[in-house]
Amino acid sequence: MPTSSTNRLDHLAANLRHLRKAAGFTQQKLADMAGLPRATLASMEHGGANPGLDSVLAVATALDSSLDDLVLAQPGQRYFVVDTAGVNEIQSDEGRYRARLLTPIATRGVQIQRIELDPECDSVGRPHPRGSQEFFLVLSGTATLTIADDEVRLHAQQLIQFPGHFPHRYANQSWSTLVRAISVVVLSMK
């Protein structure tokens, strides 16, 4: 869904006003926090400005928000179609572990991956920030996850949830059956 620069400026005005009010800031307080003149911020909120990237970044930082939060339509007004065939595949364990990120890069706080574990695969998982949770759903085959020091076998249609910052491994102990799974990581935003 292409977005014109005029639409982005309209979204900026509405989103900035909404985020500022939700944070309980006056225009002057937010302008001071962002290091901008209040008139610049007021102009950004009323859609009459074409602010530079530095100004928008300063406001996003002061609001503890992303650029997407400021310039894209609110989630209820936007959608993403992801062509997963074009997404880069991550491999480890000599190619026996394959993962494709299915969520758009602009998605904050959630990562969804399609996972394939070839027979005899044993791959170390990447730890996620403290406070994150990982959900691992086996679609077919039997996966063995080692989380910290606990080994858990999951069969098709079983799901496990665990703290994503714990050391973890994904394994397929079968000699002949491929494991297909989905991993959803809800990242800590702290």
The reply to whether 94 and 182 lie within a common domain is yes
pLDDT higher than 90, residue 150: yes
The reply to whether 101 and 161 lie within a common domain is yes
- pLDDT band at residue 190 using 50, 70 and 90 as cut-offs: low
pLDDT of residue 163: 94
pLDDT of residue 72: 79
Q: Are 171 and 93 in contact (CB under 8 A)?
A: no
Cα distance between residue 44 and residue 39, in whole Å: 9
For tokens 């530079």, name the residue: 52
The reply to whether 95 and 130 lie within a common domain is yes
Q: Across the strands, what pairs with 169?
A: 124, 146
The reply to whether 51 and 117 lie within a common domain is no
Which of the two residues, 103 and 118, has the higher pLDDT score? 118
**Taking all residues of the chain, what is their mean pLDDT, rounded to a whole number?**
86
Question: Which stretches of the chain are assigned E, i.e. beta strand?
Answer: 89-92, 97-101, 110-117, 122-124, 133-140, 142-147, 150-155, 159-163, 168-171, 179-186
The reply to whether 163 and 128 lie within a common domain is yes
- pLDDT band at residue 1 using 50, 70 and 90 as cut-offs: very low
The reply to whether 16 and 63 lie within a common domain is yes
The reply to whether 176 and 134 lie within a common domain is yes
Using one digit for the tens of pLDDT, what is the confidence trace for 151-173?
A: 999 999 999 999 999 999 999 99
CATH of the domain at 122: 2.60.120.10
The reply to whether 115 and 24 lie within a common domain is no
pLDDT of residue 166: 94
pLDDT of residue 4: 47
* Mean pLDDT within 3-18: 73
The reply to whether 64 and 146 lie within a common domain is no
Residue 117: domain span: 84-186
